[in-house]
A and B are shown apart, each in its own frame.
Chain A
Amino acid sequence: MVGSGGLSIGQAGEFDYSGSQAMKALREEGIDAVLINPNIATWQTSHQLASEVYFLPISVDYVAYVLEKERPDGILLTFGGQSALNVGIELDRMGVLERLGVQVLGTPIRTLEVSEDRDLFVQALKEIDIPVAQSTAVSSVNAALDAADKIGYPVIMRSAFTLGGLGSGFANNPEELRDLAARGLALSPQVLVERSMKGWKEVEYEVVRDGADNTIICCNMENFDPLGTHTGDSIVVAPSQTLTDDEYHMLRSAALKVIRHLGVVGECNIQYALNPNSREYCVIEVNARLSRSSALASKATGYPLAYTAAKLALGYTLPELPNAVTKTTTACFEPSLDYIVTKIPKWDLAKFSSQVNREVGSSMKSVGEVMAIGRTFEESLMKAVRMVDPRWVGFEVFGKRMEKEQLDNVLQKPTDMRLFAIAQAMYLEGYTVDRIHNLTKIDKWFLYKLENIVETHRSLTTAGSVQAIDAELMTRAKRMGFADVHIASLVNSNEVAVRAYRKSLGIVPFVKRIDTLAAEFPAYTNYLYTTYNASEHDVEFDEHGTMVLGSGVYRIGSSVEFDWCAVTCTRSLRDQGVRTIMVNYNPETVSTDFDEADRLYFEELGWERVMDIFELEGAQGIVVSVGGQLPQNIALRLKESGVKVLGTDPENIDMAEDRHKFSSVLDKIGVDQPEWTEVTSVEAAKAFAERARYPVLIRPSYVLSGAAMNVVFEESALEYNLSAAASVSPLHPVVVTKFIEGAQEIDVDAVAHQGRLLVHAVSEHVENAGVHSGDATLVLPPYSLPELDMARLKEIAQKVAAGFDISGPFNMQIIRKAGAVGEKSKLKVIECNLRASRSFPFVSKVLGHNFIETAAAAITGVNVPEPVDVMAQARDYTSVKVAQFSWTRLGGADPFLGVEMASTGEVASFGRDVHEAYWASLLSTTGFRVPREKSGVLIGGDITAPEMRTIATTLSNLGFRLFCSSQVIEEFLNDLPYVSAKRIFFPTKDKRKLREVFDEFDIQCVINLARSRGKSVTDEDYVARRNAVDFGLPLLNNPRTAQLFVDSLAKKMPQGGLRKYVEGRIPSEVKSWREFTGVRG
């Protein structure tokens, strides 16, 4: 079973869901699964599922090594996204699968090839007369005109090798195309001419086929955003809403025909463009594997697609499989939905520098997505908006009011905020539906529904006060998904008052089941959602379970690791005999599989809905500490509302999050912390910075992933950043902390019960303090900490556990500054969260001790284990966790590491020592290409970093050729003994030329040590870093990791680390989890 690796934009948590379901299916059949996936935070890499887990790169070489070592009978390639698929095709081409006698299960390789190769695909669809989107590559203006004549106007022209859509555009006639092609061909040697289907509807079908040719559609979906926006960046509804029966079945029949012709066995996805003014359609693409859309379809229907696909791959037929929801009916049917789901993507573009282009288009930029279930479109949309960002109360105007021209622009060319641009157009500018439709091409049906929300908003505003809202209006508002807090904001009231008044009118939500067949047959499913468009509950509330709040949407800083925590906690509670109720709304997760908890509410995680569910269920209590920061934010309010919050007291959680309270507790228990102050004015900040001396770290309270955090080195920067940081959250003043330069950072993950430390883990950061812990490289066990400090760190953990009377998980970041000879080093706590952290799955899996299982016991107080010191145990292995970045997807962003988190995922590998582990884990990051021997390395950036000398010298000794772009660097490098570097012509504005330069000098790796973000887009260091990621080359931008990388190279090269896979040679890091840790994998 080949996994998908670290989470990145376009390939995220959905593959943990699909892989986990597939392995569950294998397990049911008594099949031993060997899993390769370096993503240590996933559920699929837990010991419950696979018999052997390899935390190794999803690359042809490493998968081949594992195959050679394990000699499995079969291989599953369609559950690990594009990465797994590509590896599979290549392994087949190399003859490895055949030689080792490994059978490809499910969809055959040939089908995968046809679906991936555009020419073969177009040919295959032509054979069965199915129209397909065609593009013609041309390299002259005349050829472009000829191609357009054949295709028919209007056409879209795209430059083949330019990024960011440079030189692309629409042409309605030959004159326009002539101009466009001339410009495009000046930038790129080749342009693609395609039929323009701008404004067409985009529709997807999820298809399941077995080896006996039974074929069904699980679900279809319609994009709110018409063609032109990547489906991953589109708002999507399921099932389709604006298609007639004729259109629905025309596309359905075509889907069956295509999938049968291609020969898929398992699950696949087909995307269409449908002309909104005729029956004309064409196929855009087929994904012959599980995909993000199939995860969404699974959650939208309750039909376990990945599980079913795995069973079909093993040779079952659809009629042989039962419907997993009803148990009594067959899996060979098509779900009927009696609700509507709306998916909205989560972009986190604001987290990156302002250089990032906010437009969304043909390349995906979102980092996660939410799914909301309702019985009206308005209800599901309003829920989804709140799920994407809890600060948004619903479909309203957010952010600065745009000028009309800019507004029209955003409506025409979607950005991550287009939905709210529509809100502005409707609420403030009086645009009609027709006008908005003409600009956006969004089907009017959707816009009419949005207009309904606007009208209800106005009726509420007119009512003026809570008491003036009559039962009819209140019912209408709630049925359209208005939150109590939203209504409150419109009538100058508060959430609690609206809730009380609404209840007095008898207006409450009802709980409905998702049962795959619209209530036609009885189904005792536990897959639930709430709606106001109902008059009775589907379920009885007699279980009084314990609620576990999930993590919500995946975003920068909160991702699959919290899903692992939530799933593990739920399973532990079930093992204790506790009935569990999971609440979460992320369709890419395992926690939203309906068989993980006794009841699953696919619902919002805000106070209103959590209280609704708590009250209806008569729940025993709520666990808020395993879902990341989101559930933590409402912990205190829940307690104040009379909810039994399990684990650490929310008052203490608040103490840890309130800087003043936190600081005074640390002082009281005698734990050191950096100098800090809280200021409400810039002057006060300046005064502190002068006293404590620059640099200082500024940040607002209540943050996750370092939003608006910054290290400033001088007064002008302080002034500038403080105005930016202060505007983030005006309710919270800004904290200014002394930033200690050159200090080491340490992560402590721990569990305590009633203030007594039960277990703790100490991971060492490779980068110095100043790099966000989510972006940092973590080594476990630590490789440079003296024993005395290890003991002192444990002592700090014990003091903190006692000081906050912790029952459950907690995490601290501590900085360490080595003292002078004979002096103790300084250990200062910079951050403490009384909840599970991002590194819990990492430390649990590396140390072979499940911290969340211990935490679950501590939270409930049942079977609490005796304290154990897992750090005291000597280990003959090391594991390194490395962040996975998605820079290539974020055109323009400076690949720079700072206090703001920028990574989208993580991977971790094991090794005999830190070098081997770092080598394997760095290679495990998606897209990492090992440089060839004797190739060129471009060196640049901060030459004051002491590591620069050793890095250059080592690379030179290893036979790499060094290049640089500036005279200063050239002189610096050539001054080093035995090092010679060549300065090269370095065009900063012409990407094509730069590419040629890189090719000419065979530059295959870039080391550019960045001290701060590039000041301009022509800054040489910025250009070097940016193009390293754009050209798909390894980039090392931090002195400490760059040093570790060259040291690892020095160790691995003599062992053949740069050589490709050859039969019979297996590198030493190719060992399973069990082989490393000695614990059953």
Chain B
Amino acid sequence: MITRPIFRISRLYRGFATHAGSPAPIPAVLHLKTGQSFTGRSFGAHRSIYGETVFSTSITSYTESMTDPSYRGQILVFTTPLIGNYGVPHNIAPRDSRDVGVVLESSGIQCAAVVVADVAEKFSHYTAIESLHAWCSRYNVPGVTGVDTRAITRLLRDQGTTLGRLAVGTDTTLPPPSEGEYWDPSKENLVDQISTKEPYVLNPAGDVKIAVLDFGAKANILRALVRRGAAVTVLPWDYDFNAIRNGFDGLFLSNGPGDPQQCWAAAHKLRTTMEEWHKPIFGICLGHQIIGMAAGLDAYRMTFGNRGHNQPVLALASSGSIQAGRVYVTSQNHQYALRLQDPFPEGWEPFFINCNDSSVEGIKSTPDSGRHVWGVQFHPESAGGPLDTIGVTHLFYFSLIWFLSNMCV
């Protein structure tokens, strides 16, 4: 019933959907701190910006990626050359047991800028209400098109994620910034900037009560929990969960941007939680790194990270529907990872590793540890990306149910 008026609104928007015409031929230059520059045409907001330049190899999902809070502060290079083809949908959804208020991964564009080879000036999709250009303009996010994204990717692959500046319009005539002028988002606590300031509850009528520490949660994580009927309490990232933990059946640590070292406050609190509270805990991406840090593992900065939808991970342990020895194709977006160490801290075991670069893709508490903790580096909830590992979120959810039913006995 609730969906009906929303549907009408989006229909209305669609009626007004315009193609905004060709972006004005305003020059834009991507400068990298390492000295290289790439010239193209500006689209979206015609303003210059600093950021950390990263690339994603996902073929679809520019809308999901750009609204993913993990891309906060980053200049996002798409290796897929044709971007904007299906436009941008109306990004408002109901907040009910099926949805969490947005269609995409958050309410606005999170990345600092986008770099594409060939932006679609005109789009075509039944859900689209505006072009990528118009959307970027509305959110004051600049973009550049007509550049050799493969050349940039090759650079980033070899020299690692690099600070950059997208200079637009008259700024393109200025010399590139000096080294000291580049802004480094990893020096900042990005998590603190985007985490919710106040706790809030989604689907309060839900039957299981889950707390989510919000490091910059993607909407689809919350959506996945709500759609399974959970009452979800979203907490600021550094909230003292231990003070309220008895009211919850499980704890979820979300994804988020930046360096996990900025989040030691959360890791320390989690260590206490894990020692004293034996209900299921699950972490994705940054949340997984924090679990690892709390468990005694090191987090380190990778050269260029893993961003894409085609990352193969090998399951080292069986759990739920996940079978040891099987390879799953996963969606990923991270710059930092947990260091593989031998032996693993007591009570912990590796869950998944990356088939290409052997980085740690998941950890879990051992069966005999008495704990029920899992962390995965990839995004089992997808959006965008493959749904192969959606089973690990089921795993968390089913263990909650199992826990509840056992408690009742």
Binding site for B on A (CB under 8 A): 212-214, 216-217, 239-246, 248-249, 252-253, 256, 276-278, 318-319, 328-330, 332-340, 375-377, 443-445, 448, 472, 479, 510, 512, 517-522, 533-536, 538
Contact = CB atoms under 8 A, between A and B. Distances in A.
Given A242-B85, A520-B157, A443 B326 contact: no
A244 B122 contact: no
B308 A520 contact: yes
A536 B385 contact: no
A214 B149 CA distance: 32
Contact of B157 (A328, A522, A533): A522
Given A242-B86, A330-B327, A533-B148, A337 B386 contact: no
Contact of B124 (A239, A445, A472): A445
Contacts of A256: 388
B221 to A, nearest CB: 16
A319 to B, nearest CB: 5
A751 B325 CA distance: 56
Contacts of A217: 329
A243 B86 contact: yes
A332 B86 contact: no
A214 B147 CA distance: 37
A244 B83 CA distance: 11
B205 interface: no
A330 B355 contact: yes
29 contacts: A216-B312, A242-B86, A242-B124, A244-B86, A244-B127, A246-B383, A248-B59, A249-B387, A253-B387, A328-B356, A332-B312, A333-B311, A333-B355, A333-B356, A335-B310, A336-B310, A337-B59, A338-B79, A340-B81, A375-B150, A376-B82, A444-B124, A445-B123, A517-B57, A519-B79, A520-B57, A533-B81, A533-B148, A535-B147
B148 A239 contact: no
Interface in B24-74: 25, 38, 55, 57-61, 63-64
Contact of B327 (A214, A243, A444, A536): A214
A536 B151 contact: yes
A336 B79 contact: yes
Interface in B81-132: 81-82, 85-86, 89, 117-118, 120-127
Nearest to A512: B150
B371 interface: no
B203 interface: no
B384 interface: yes
Nearest to A536: B151
The listed residue with most B CB atoms (<10 A of its CB), out of A216, A244, A252, A328, is A244
Given A242-B86, A336-B310, A340-B81, A536 B355 contact: no
Contacts of B279: none
B382 A249 contact: yes
Nearest to A447: B124
B67 to A, nearest CB: 11
Given A518-B80, A533-B81, A319 B150 contact: no
Contacts of B165: none
Given A246-B383, A444-B122, A522-B157, A330 B356 contact: yes
A330 B312 CA distance: 8
Given A239-B59, A244-B60, 20 more contacts: A212-B325, A242-B125, A244-B89, A246-B383, A330-B355, A332-B312, A333-B312, A333-B329, A336-B80, A336-B308, A336-B309, A376-B82, A445-B85, A445-B86, A521-B157, A522-B157, A533-B148, A535-B38, A535-B148, A538-B150
B314 interface: yes
Interface of B: 25, 38, 55, 57-61, 63-64, 79-82, 85-86, 89, 117-118, 120-127, 146-151, 153-154, 157-158, 308-312, 314, 325-327, 329, 355-356, 382-388
Contact of B310 (A249, A318, A333, A522): A333
Contacts of A333: 310-312, 329, 355-356
Contact of A244 (B63, B117, B121, B310): B63
A80 to B, nearest CB: 29
B243 to A, nearest CB: 38
Contacts of A318: 327
Contact of A249 (B157, B355, B385): B385
A337 B60 CA distance: 11
B81 A376 contact: yes
A241 B82 contact: yes
The listed residue with most B CB atoms (<10 A of its CB), out of A240, A256, A479, A520, is A520
A319 B382 contact: no
A84 to B, nearest CB: 30
Given A245-B60, A333-B329, A336-B309, A535 B80 contact: no
A445 B63 contact: no
The listed residue with most A CB atoms (<10 A of its CB), out of B55, B58, B63, B329, is B329
Contact of A518 (B38, B150, B329): B150
A409 to B, nearest CB: 25
Contact of A213 (B89, B326, B355, B356): B326
A533 B117 contact: yes
A281 B310 CA distance: 24
Contacts of B329: 216-217, 332-334
Contacts of A248: 59-60
Given A244-B60, A332-B355, A333-B310, A338 B153 contact: yes
Contacts of B59: 239, 248, 336-337
Q: Report, nearest first, the 8 A-B pairs whose CB atoms are least far apart.
A: A245-B384, A245-B61, A518-B79, A445-B124, A334-B310, A444-B124, A448-B122, A336-B57
Contacts of B326: 212-214
A246 B126 CA distance: 13
Contact of A377 (B82, B150, B386): B82
Contacts of A241: 82, 85
A339 B386 contact: no
B248 to A, nearest CB: 31
Contacts of A332: 312, 327, 329, 355
Nearest to B314: A319
A755 B83 CA distance: 57
A319 B327 contact: yes
Given A319-B327, A517-B310, A336 B356 contact: no
Contacts of A375: 81, 117-118, 150
B82 A340 contact: yes
A18 to B, nearest CB: 24
Contacts of A329: 355-356
A333 B57 CA distance: 13
A243 B309 contact: no
A434 to B, nearest CB: 11
Nearest to A520: B57
A217 B386 CA distance: 10
Nearest to B156: A519
Given A243-B86, A332-B312, A336-B57, A278 B126 contact: yes
A640 to B, nearest CB: 34
A319 B312 contact: yes
Contacts of A339: 81
B126 A519 contact: no
A376 B309 CA distance: 22
A502 to B, nearest CB: 18
A244 B125 contact: yes
Contacts of A340: 81-82
A996 to B, nearest CB: 50
Contact of B153 (A239, A277, A337, A519): A519
A726 to B, nearest CB: 44
A208 to B, nearest CB: 11
A444 B121 CA distance: 12
The listed residue with most B CB atoms (<10 A of its CB), out of A214, A241, A245, A252, is A245
The listed residue with most B CB atoms (<10 A of its CB), out of A253, A277, A334, is A334
A479 B326 CA distance: 43
Contacts of B147: 535
Nearest to A216: B329
A241 B82 CA distance: 8
B310 A519 contact: no
